Amino acid sequence: MSKPTAKSKSKTPPKSAAVPAPSDPTAAGAAAYADAQGEMIQLIAPDGTVTQPERLPDVSIRLRLYHLMRRARHFDERAWVLYRTGRMGVFPPYGGMEASQVGTAAALTPDDWLFPTYRDTGAALTYGLPLAQTIAYWRTSPHGWAMPENLKVLPFYIPIATQYPHAVGAALAERRRGTRNVAMAYIGDGGSSEGDFHEALNFAGALNAPCVFILQNNGWAISVPTRSQTRATNLSRRAEGYGIPGVRVDGNDVLATYRVTAEAVQRARDGEGPTLIETVTYRVKPHTVADDPSRYRTAEDTAGWDARDPVLRLRAHLLAEGHLTEEADAEITREIEAEFEEALRVADAYPEPTPAEILDHVFAEPTPQLVRQRAQILAEEGA
Ligand SMILES: Cc1ncc(C[n+]2csc(CCOP(=O)(O)OP(=O)(O)O)c2C)c(N)n1
Ligand SMILES: [Mg+2]
């Protein structure tokens, strides 16, 4: 190989320009959490100690939230293993964000609406998306694409922020129909810099839409730390610009996320309009199972978050208060594992998808173009 000339050398950007300095991303999530401590709602501290006893949900709700978080985590962990063995497609993990997803989704009733992003499998499972269908979805199988007719959950949104205006539309439709149902939509810190986010908040505020907006600040938009995305340091305050309440909550405390969301849902049902809830959490895992975060952040950065694990936090609380025993916990593990393996058997038994199915489930009634394209695919297959 020839030696690089001085000219070609000067074209290569210095390494430090391409890879952010470690101190920058390291600060992003952990520092945001530390900054937020004083101003975010928290009911139990990271070690499980109760900080606001008067606001704790009933024990039956606490136990339900624990079960749902364990179930969500199990899915996340199994998805990794299945991906590595070629039995799952590219999957965006949410491990470590269960309190942010489960606590919020559990505050809805089945008559409401849920608008999840690709990150929110934990929220969709909590809301009732069947396990086997969810597995099929992340296998990119058409068997996972059409949401069950009796479940008001939208397919996972991949284009950032588009779900927010859609949720406002669904909320307004519910009000026109004279119901008390609400629409809840999720977004990430990165998504909250998109125009759709701001338009939706303004639209919802101006028309007093029964909406609950969940903004999961997990410290990262792929490789870009929240700090570099915006100069705003408290994303819940974005609500002020639209005249609606903004709440900042410890996104790793499921009792807090549940309590705050249940209150926002109630306000929306009572005609008091939308709320923005920022859940301060952290994306401990890579962006997707195909991402390598060691290229843009350090292992120490993520390690600090183990101590704030949402599942272990609630577990510590329940054990300390005598609401959970080690035996009961082991039984939950057995139950969750058996449920998942059964769902996997069901998903494995779905017939192999055929190429023409890629056009099914796009519209309720296919357009003339889709009818033509389907016929063409079938003809090519037969050829
Ligand atoms: C409209 C649009 N622009 C860009 C992308 C590419 N993209 C995929 S994920 C992502 C980062 C989103 O970060 P955030 O909103 O914080 O969500 P998180 O992945 O952390 O859950 C981007 C820019 C996209 N999917 N859609
Ligand atoms: Mg993010």
318 and 371 assigned to the same domain: no
- Which of the ligands is closest to the CA of residue 158? 1
The DSSP line for 36-48 is HGGGSB-SB-TTS
Residue 1 lies in a domain: no
* Helix, strand, coil percentages, rounded to 5, for the chain: 55, 10, 35
List the pLDDT tens digit at each of the 383 positions of the chain.
Answer: 344 444 444 444 444 344 333 334 344 455 555 555 568 999 999 999 999 999 999 999 999 999 999 999 999 999 999 999 999 999 999 999 999 999 999 999 999 999 999 999 999 999 999 999 999 999 999 889 889 999 999 999 999 999 999 999 999 999 999 999 999 999 999 999 999 999 999 999 999 999 999 999 999 999 999 988 999 989 999 999 999 999 999 999 999 999 999 999 999 999 999 999 999 999 999 999 999 999 999 887 788 888 899 999 999 999 999 999 999 999 999 999 999 999 999 999 999 888 888 888 888 899 999 999 999 999 998 87
Distance 336 CA to ligand 2 centre (A): 28
315 and 380 assigned to the same domain: no
Answer whether 190 contacts ligand 1 (Cβ < 6 A): yes
Residue 367 belongs to domain spanning: 355-383
271 and 367 assigned to the same domain: no
115 and 208 assigned to the same domain: yes
321 and 370 assigned to the same domain: no
333 and 234 assigned to the same domain: yes
277 and 359 assigned to the same domain: no
Residue 87 lies in a domain: yes
Burial 364-374 (b: 16+ CB within 10 A, else e): eeeeeeeeeeb
Residue with the nearest Cα to atom 19 of ligand 1?
221
Q: Parallel, antiparallel, or unpaired: how do β-strands 220-221 and 224-225 relate? A: antiparallel
Query: Ligand 1 atom closest to Cα of 189?
Result: 16
Answer whether 222 contacts ligand 1 (Cβ < 6 A): yes
Decide if 157 is catalytic. Answer: no
Query: Ligand 1 atom closest to Cα of 117?
Result: 21
Residue 10 lies in a domain: no
* CATH of residue 302: 3.40.50.970
Instruction: Tell me which of 71, 73, 78, 283 is the catalytic residue.
Output: 283
Answer whether 116 contacts ligand 1 (Cβ < 6 A): no
Domain count for the chain: 2
Residue 206 lies in a domain: yes
Residue 183 lies in a domain: yes
336 and 225 assigned to the same domain: yes
Residue 16 lies in a domain: no
360 and 254 assigned to the same domain: no
265 and 363 assigned to the same domain: no
Residue 15 lies in a domain: no
| pTM of the full structure | 0.91
Decide if 287 is catalytic. Answer: yes
324 and 339 assigned to the same domain: yes
Answer whether 188 contacts ligand 1 (Cβ < 6 A): yes
* Euclidean distance between CA atoms 264 and 248, whole angstroms: 12
- Full 3-state SS string of 249-277: EECCCHHHHHHHHHHHHHHHHCCCCCEEE
- Which of the ligands is closest to the CA of residue 222? 1
